Chains A and B, each alone.
Chain A
Amino acid sequence: MAMFIRVDFDASLQGDADLKRRLVEVCPVDIFALDGDTLTTVDANLDECTLCDLCIDAAGERVRVVKLYE
C-alpha cells in the first residue's frame, strides 16, 4: 500500500493509445503500466515517485500526482 503518493488519471485517457504508451515510457520509476490495453498504476512503485512532473508534461491536467502527506 502506497503511503505517500497517489496518482489519479481521467478515465478519458484510456481512449488515447499514444498517450498511454508515452506515460509508461516517461515515468522514471515505472508507476504506469499497461494491462492489455488498460492503463494502470503500479502500487509498489507509487511511493518511489520523484515528483519529476514528466507525466504531467505529457498528459497535462488529465494526470494528477497527489501527495498523501499534505
Chain B
Amino acid sequence: MRLYEYEAKQMLAKHGVALPKRTLARTAEEAEVGARELGGATVLKSQVLSGGRMKAGGVLFADTPDEARAAAARILALAINGQQPAGVLVEERRDIAQEYYVAVTWDARAKRPVIVFSDMGGIDIEEVAQTHPAHVSRTHFSNLRPLSDYVAKLAVARTGVTGNDLAPLTRIVLNLARIFVQYDLTLAEINPLAKLADGSFIALDSHMDMEEEARGGQRALLGELGIADADTRQARPPTPFEVEGARVDAADTRGVAGRVVEFDGNMGLVIGAGGGSLTLFDAVRSAGGRPANYCEIGGNPSVAKAAALTKLVLSKPGVERIAVMMNVVSNTRADIMARGVIKGCIDAGRDPARTIAIFRIPGSWEKEGAKILARYGVEYVNRSVSMHEAAQRAVAKMG
C-alpha cells in the first residue's frame, strides 16, 4: 500500500527528520493562501500514487502566491497515469548544495532489510547505480539483533562521505531504517535528501510503501494518517466491475475469488489459482484470445462463490463466452466448480452449453465434475489436454 508524499513526510517529521516548510492544499485557493503564509518562492507537487510526476507536469514552481494559485489549478486538473491528484503539496523552495539518495527495502535474496545510500541522489539514481557503482552502497541489517547506529554509519561512509556530514546523514538513515522496521514498510525512500547551503540536511521528497498484510497491525498509524480501511490505494482506482469482484470474494469465506481485474476483450475467464491464472492468461493471449478479465479463483470455493464470480464475468458487456480452466487441482474440487459455473450461467439467463467454451479442471473429484458437465452439454477436457491446448480450443470457439 503506497503512501502519498505528504503522508510519508508526516512520518518523517514525527521521527525527527527535517523537512521543508509545507502545507497540503485541496484547492487552488488553498494553495495561494499556503504560498502566502510560507512566503517567497514555492514548489507545488501533485499528490498521486505514481512516479514520473516531474515528467508528467505534476511538479511546478511559483515565485508569487498568484503564480502558486495558477500552478495548483493546473496540477489539480491533471490526471497522472489515470489518477486524479488527492491534493497539491505546497512547499518552500530551498537552495540545494548537493543531493543524496537513501532507501530501506527488503532484499529477498539476503532475506534481510537493506539500506541503499548514494551521495549522488536525484531522479537519475538508477543510472548512477550503473555508471558510478562506488557511489551507491548496499548495507544489510539483521532481523533479530537491535538496529545499531554503526549500520547506518557504514551505509553512509561506504560512499566516501566523511567529516561533518557523516553524523547528520547517519542520523537520518538510522531514523529511516527505524521507520521501515516499526511500521512494516516494504520501501522507505528519501530522494532527494538535500544538503542545503548552510550545511544542514532536509528530505525533499519521500516514497513509502506499507505491506498489505500489516495493515491490521498498523491501525494506530493509519488512524493518525487518516487512512480508512476502505482506502485500497491501488495504482488506478478500481472499476465498478472490480469493486463487485472484491465484494463477491468478501461475501463468502469459503475459497478465494481474488484479484478480479477488468480488460476490454470478449472472452470471460474463470481461472485459478495464482500461478495457474498467470499461465492461463498468457495461454489465452498467445492463442490470440481477447480476455475480458483476470481472476484467481481457488482454495476450494463454495458453489455460491463460483456462481457469483461467473455471473459477474457474464454481466460485463461484450462477453460472449467464458473459459473455465485450472491447473491440476489438489484441494479445489472439479465438481463444486462445475456446479458453480453452471449455476452462474443459468442465474445470468444463459445456456451453459453455449456459454462455457471449455471446462478444464483436472484433479480432485474430476469424474463427478464430468458427469455434471455432460448433463448440461458443456465441453469437458481432462488432464490429457494441456492448459495451453485448452486455451487454444476455447479461443477457437469465439466469434
Contact = CB atoms under 8 A, between A and B. Distances in A.
Interface in B276-303: 302-303
A34 interface: no
A67 B372 CA distance: 9
Given A48-B303, A69-B371, A69-B372, A3 B336 contact: no
B388 to A, nearest CB: 29
A48 B368 contact: no
Interface in B371-395: 371-372, 375-376
Interface stretch (B77-85, B229-237, B322-330, B339-347): B339-347
Given A4-B372, A69-B375, A70-B371, A50 B336 contact: yes
Contacts of A48: 302-304
A52 to B, nearest CB: 11
Contacts of A67: 371
Interface in A14-70: 29, 47-48, 50-51, 67, 69-70
Contacts of A70: 371, 375
Contacts of B339: 3-4, 47
Interface of A: 3-4, 29, 47-48, 50-51, 67, 69-70
A51 B368 contact: yes
Contacts of B304: 47-48
Given A50-B336, A69-B371, A69-B372, A3 B342 contact: yes
Contacts of A4: 303, 339, 343, 372
A3 B343 contact: yes
Nearest to A68: B375
Given A47-B304, A50-B333, A70-B375, 8 more contacts: A3-B342, A3-B343, A3-B346, A4-B339, A48-B303, A51-B335, A67-B371, A69-B372
Contacts of B375: 69-70
Nearest to B339: A4
A61 B379 CA distance: 35
Contacts of B368: 51
A48 B304 CA distance: 8
A44 to B, nearest CB: 8
22 contacts: A3-B339, A3-B342, A3-B343, A4-B303, A4-B339, A4-B343, A4-B372, A29-B302, A47-B304, A47-B339, A48-B302, A48-B303, A50-B333, A50-B336, A51-B335, A51-B368, A67-B371, A69-B371, A69-B372, A69-B375, A69-B376, A70-B371
A27 to B, nearest CB: 14
Contacts of B333: 50
Interface in B168-223: none
Interface string B320-363: 00000000000001011001001100100000000000000000
- Top 5 A-B pairs ranked by shortest CB distance? A69-B375, A69-B372, A47-B303, A4-B339, A48-B303
B376 to A, nearest CB: 8
Nearest to A5: B339
Nearest to B333: A50
Contacts of B371: 67, 69-70
A48 B343 CA distance: 12
A4 B372 CA distance: 8
Nearest to A69: B375
Nearest to A3: B343
Contacts of A50: 333, 336
B372 A47 contact: no
A51 B343 CA distance: 18
A50 B335 CA distance: 9
A46 to B, nearest CB: 10
